Structure 1
Amino acid sequence: MSTPDQQSRSVKTLGVKLEPDVHAQLSFIAQLREGTITDEILIAIRAHIERAKDDPELRSRAEEVQAEIEREAAARRQAISTLFAAPGGTPDETNSSTTRSRQRSKEAPSES
């Protein structure tokens, strides 16, 4: 079982402002269910997330965002590849030649 300190690091706290009548209703529902307002809020949030998973418009937007992330990642990979490529060489050749150069410089006797 986790300690309260461990639990506080594994959850996010959210403050929610409620109108008095909404708070009263939610409090009464929690009381009838022998739970807490927090329990009721969590039940509602979980139900909302489940409905969102079945929302075709939201799914479409998520796919668009995922595609954009992939495009950006590919562009960044290309930028890194181009940055470290030797003139006329491939990035792999550059990395291996750079490694060989570093190894040679470590092996060379130092001049004092």
Structure 2
Amino acid sequence: MSTPDESMRGVKTLGIKLKPDVHAQLSFIAQLRDGTITDEIQIAVLEHIARAKDDPELAGKAAQARAEIEREAAARQQAIATLFADGSEPTPGTSRTRRSPKGSESTS
């Protein structure tokens, strides 16, 4: 049997404000369905997400976002490849020593 903490892993809590009349209606709907307001809100959110998946305008925006992410990733990969073009890419677990800026050495 799982504890309440285990069953809530990966769950996000969201607080929303509802006008009193909307809350009363939602509460009544939940009561009629032998559920909770949380159940009703989850149903509404899932239906909203399902409708969003079928929205061609949103799909176009998502495609543009994906393309931008891919462009940024390619640019970063190219920057890394250029930086280590001579094959001197550091191996994991090693570090390079930094030089002190001029004039920052202490004198005794």
TM-score (norm 1): 0.76
Distance 2:48 2:10 in 1: 21
Distance 1:24 1:58 in 2: 32
Q: Tell me the CA shift for residue 85 of structure 1.
A: 1.1
Among all aligned residue pairs of Structure 1 and Structure 2, give the percentage whose two residues are the same amino acid.
71
Distance 1:2 1:61 in 2: 41
Distance 2:65 2:2 in 1: 36
Q: Tell me the CA shift for residue 95 of structure 1.
A: 4.8
Partner residue, 2:32: 32
Alignment-mate amino acid for residue 10 of structure 2: S
Alignment-mate amino acid for residue 64 of structure 1: Q
User: In the alignment, is residue 43 of structure 1 matched against residue 43 of structure 2?
Assistant: yes
Distance 1:80 1:3 in 2: 46
Q: How is 1:33-72 mapped onto 2 (pairs within 5 angstroms)?
A: 33-72=33-72
Q: Tell me the CA shift for residue 74 of structure 1.
A: 0.1
Distance 2:71 2:79 in 1: 12
Partner residue, 2:76: 76
Structure 1 moving runs of 4+ over 4 Å: none
TM-score (norm 2): 0.78
> Which 5+ residue runs of structure 2 have no aligned equivalent?
95-108
Distance 1:28 1:71 in 2: 50
Partner residue, 1:3: 3
Higher helix share: 1
Alignment-mate amino acid for residue 39 of structure 2: D
The number of aligned residues is: 92
Backbone CA RMSD of aligned residues = 1.9
